[in-house]
Chains A and B, each alone.
Chain A
Amino acid sequence: MTIETREVTWECLAYSGVPARLYLWHTGTLNVLEFTFLLWIGSMFGGFLGSLTGLGGGVVLVPLLTIFFKVDLRYAIGASLVSVIATSSGSAAAYLKEGFSNIRIGMFLEIATTLGALLGAYLTAKIPPSAIAIVFGLMLIYSAYVSRRTRPRSEIEMPPDPLATKLKMNSTFPDTAGLRSYNVYRVPAGLGIMFGAGALSGLLGIGSGALKVVAMDQAMKIPFKVSTTTSNFMIGVTAAASAGVYLSRGYIDPALAMPVMLGVLIGSLMGTRVLVKTKTKSLRLVFSLVIVLLGIEMLLKGIGGKF
């Protein structure tokens, strides 16, 4: 961290909220107190939208920090990763009690995600920031696409998969009609995608929940509710695997991560509460559009070498 005068750029003015813009217009600089407060509000908003739409707070945090707050990409992914752990652990408490998540599936797949996360975190130092920004942009656009897609599910009767049976993955989950049982398929494919999800998580400082759900819901044919809650459960452990590497490289700055982590935590908990009460279809659409725009911005800046 360096202490220096903060200049106002045109992008900064165009992107920040109206009060922030007016304030910057008058003073031209931000002190620690203002910077921390604006970051806290911004992260809270990000965490709120992230949990409301199911895309996770981390997805918008890195663009928020790098584009709006002019934070270096490495500090941004460090702060984002920490907040990902906070959201995962904070909301896992709520999900676990509902009995949807499958601890065995989660633990087994975490072998792949944590190893992937180590690889991803290792790569952050080897790959130039602009290339990371390009990957980030593509990932944003892809997650927006995944969240919009309707998934047709063929529910044909299939005999239980021998490997999944051996791994004791077949289980039940509570439904309106009592306990419903389900079988798990294509474990190796799931493991492969999970390794990729872990690597992306470690490389970009995100939870990569979208990819984890794809692995479980699409590849392994696990019921959607079980997939999403188990994914949320796994995100914290995956992120913890790259957090150690981030810490030893100096990517985690406490003064930057503090408002981000506290903001995302509060925002996502509020989002979980609201989620139960409201229909979020139009909000999801708006948020997906915002994510696509942020993705394009990251992509263009990465291609232009501006990181």
Chain B
Amino acid sequence: MLVPNNHTRPLTTAEWYEEQVENTIAQLLRGGVLLSACVVIIGAVLYLGSSPMAHVSYRTFNGEPEQLKTVHGIVRWAFSGHSRGIMQLGLLLLIATPIARVIFSIFAFAIEGDRMYVTFTLIVLAVLLYSLFGSFLVA
């Protein structure tokens, strides 16, 4: 149901605050995607440059080596200069972007004094962190 407003009114303080929050989230998401794309591209250049003429197949599923399956494994492999590790680190940064957004929202709701939404956001964060760090428990 839509109730049209009869006139355009100036924004209230709460609305102005929410607009600021939304703008900051937008910047955060864009920055995260850009950063991760850059890291992935660096890894890709190294990867394609090292053995461009090799043959590759993904027909059968073999899983990934242990270093590419956990957060600390990926970070360690990337910083030791492995091209596949660097690409995976870029993808990890991409996965972290929505998580950073959720963490930011917790603070934004807290500053607004909205305890109910701080709780909701904390629940979402808990699920995300469980998936990233504790999912070997279910996998």
Measured between beta carbons, the chain A residues less than 8 angstroms from B64 are 1, 250-253
Closest CB in chain A relative to B136 CB, distance in Å: 5
- Cα distance A35–B123 when bound, in Å? 41
Can you list 22 A-B pairs with a CB-CB distance of less than 8 A? A31-B54, A32-B53, A70-B57, A70-B58, A85-B98, A89-B94, A93-B33, A96-B22, A99-B19, A103-B25, A107-B124, A168-B116, A245-B139, A249-B69, A249-B139, A252-B91, A254-B47, A254-B85, A254-B87, A255-B47, A258-B47, A258-B87
- Cα distance A244–B69 when bound, in Å? 9
Would A70 and B59 be within 8 Å (CB), given that A82-B94, A243-B131, A248-B139 are in contact? Answer: yes
| Stretch from A15-23, A137-145, A176-184 that touches the partner | A176-184
Closest CB in chain A relative to B66 CB, distance in Å: 9
- Cα distance A96–B36 when bound, in Å? 20
Decide: A88 and B7 in contact? CB cutoff 8 A: no
Within 8 A of B (CB), among A101-126: 101, 103-104, 107-108, 110-111, 114-115, 117-118, 121-122, 125
Closest CB in chain A relative to B95 CB, distance in Å: 5
* Nearest chain B residue, comparing its CB with the CB of A76: B58
Q: Across the A-B interface, how many residue pairs have beta carbons closer than 8 Å?
A: 266
Leading 7 A-B pairs by shortest Cβ distance: A244-B131, A250-B63, A178-B8, A250-B64, A254-B87, A244-B132, A93-B30
Decide: B135 and A245 in contact? CB cutoff 8 A: yes
Per DSSP, are chain B's interface residues mostly helix, strand or loop, or mixed? helix
Q: How many residues of B contact A (CB 8 A)?
A: 79
Query: A interface vs B, CB < 8 Å?
Result: 1-6, 29-33, 35-36, 69-75, 82, 85-86, 88-90, 92-94, 96-97, 99, 101, 103-104, 107-108, 110-111, 114-115, 117-118, 121-122, 125, 155-158, 167-168, 172, 175, 177-183, 221, 223, 236-237, 239-245, 247-259, 261-262, 265
